[in-house]
A and B are shown apart, each in its own frame.
Chain A
């Protein structure tokens, strides 16, 4: 029953949501809409579970004085104080928003900006000409990059045109091939989950 229960729930809800997508019946559409709403509620419970797990993990670190337990203390203080502030004064309050805008957002933006530096180092390796495929990649990349900036057109009018052709023709063809393959894979995986054939997520191998 531990395994059959979730499989049955996945099957029934999956079939109803699919039916709501394909058919006009108001009853089915209403049921489908309701299930999608429930999904948000279940996800909120999962979020709470995630919070509890983090609390438990860091709590164990502190109690056991494990490696880097001081960071666990910082987590606990930040977690509890921000949670209490959000509940007591609401998440739209000036204090809550101040911390969000001036502490979290700059940190998140900093992480995002790392991408530029990592992208540069990755390009450096990827564009090294070790074989003819890497040479094609390097030349194509250079043309597309030059085609996106003013200096490309200043060097030659052909560069933006070739760049646009690369993006619109071979690049678009490859993207669509990848998208079709990936989408079919997603459809089949979803069918397997709905039919209860995919059970890895419940630590159960297939029959």
Chain B
């Protein structure tokens, strides 16, 4: 065992266990209490808005590497693509990574297939825009296509400000979401709704209410509760000169 990683391994195993058991429990009871997330409720509003206006919307994924935020964002894309297909709203998807592009294509195609409109799916609406080229590309897309709605989700860096503000200037309603705390102020300033940090991971559960999604959300909440309890106990003990919690976490 590598020194200092016992606590991480224990947490990982606990979270996996909680995920599994709460998914099983949800299968039996079907009971889920989850607070309202206005940013996710607004997705349907946004799709309705672009449909009424007869203008397209853009779903722009952020990312320099495919990681957890990318997967969570694609989960949201799955829902947005279904809604777009259902209401015949045109949806442009911007994938910043080459490996994301075929995934987005598959998600879009499957969404149109589910709605029985696969012949209406246009693969050219999924755009691969890598690196710095994506910045000019997305700004151009907003202006050329006159998008009425934009959704920005994923691992964003400085481009959050560019994309969000440019969509705002193009007159688009926006929903943004990232777990990168340094970009959240930009989304808050420019977007109509912002999903803050773990809310993008909760989106799958909120939108689908499938058992394993519920398990994942419960595991995250248990992890947070555990962190708060450890912080409170650790702070109290440290105040009295006892560092047993910090020693335990570094084992």
A and B together in one complex: yes
- A contacts, CB < 8 Å to B: 18, 21-24, 43, 46-51, 53-54, 57, 60, 68, 104, 107-108, 111-112, 114-115, 118-119, 121-123, 125-126, 174-175, 178-193, 195, 197-198, 200-207
Q: Is the CB of B75 within 8 A of A198?
A: yes
Q: Is the CB of A189 within 8 A of B72?
A: yes
Interface residues of B in 1-27 (CB under 8 A from A): 1-2, 5, 8-9, 11-12, 15-16, 19
Encoded as 1 (CB less than 8 Å from any A CB) or 0, chain B from 166 to 191 comes to 10110000000001010010101110
- A178 CB contacts on chain B under 8 angstroms: 179, 181, 184, 196-197
Starting from the known contacts A186-B201, A206-B210, 14 additional A-B residue pairs (CB-CB under 8 Å) come to: A21-B2, A23-B2, A107-B132, A115-B158, A123-B189, A187-B223, A188-B201, A188-B219, A189-B71, A191-B16, A200-B71, A200-B75, A205-B208, A205-B210
Q: How far is the CA of A75 from the CA of B182 in the complex (A)?
A: 34
Given A193-B71, A200-B75, A49–B102 Cβ distance below 8 Å? yes
Question: How many Å from the CB of B96 to the closest CB on chain A?
Answer: 10
Q: Is the CB of A118 within 8 A of B179?
A: no
Q: Is the CB of A206 within 8 A of B212?
A: yes
Stretch among B32-40, B104-112, B234-242 lining the A interface:
B104-112
Interface of A is mostly: helix
Question: How many Å from the CB of B29 to the closest CB on chain A?
Answer: 18
Residue from B130, B144, B165, B204 with most neighbouring chain A CB atoms (10 Å): B165
Interface size class of B (residues with CB under 8 A): 35 or more
Q: How far is the CA of A178 from the CA of B188 in the complex (A)?
A: 14
Question: How many Å from the CB of B132 to the closest CB on chain A?
Answer: 4
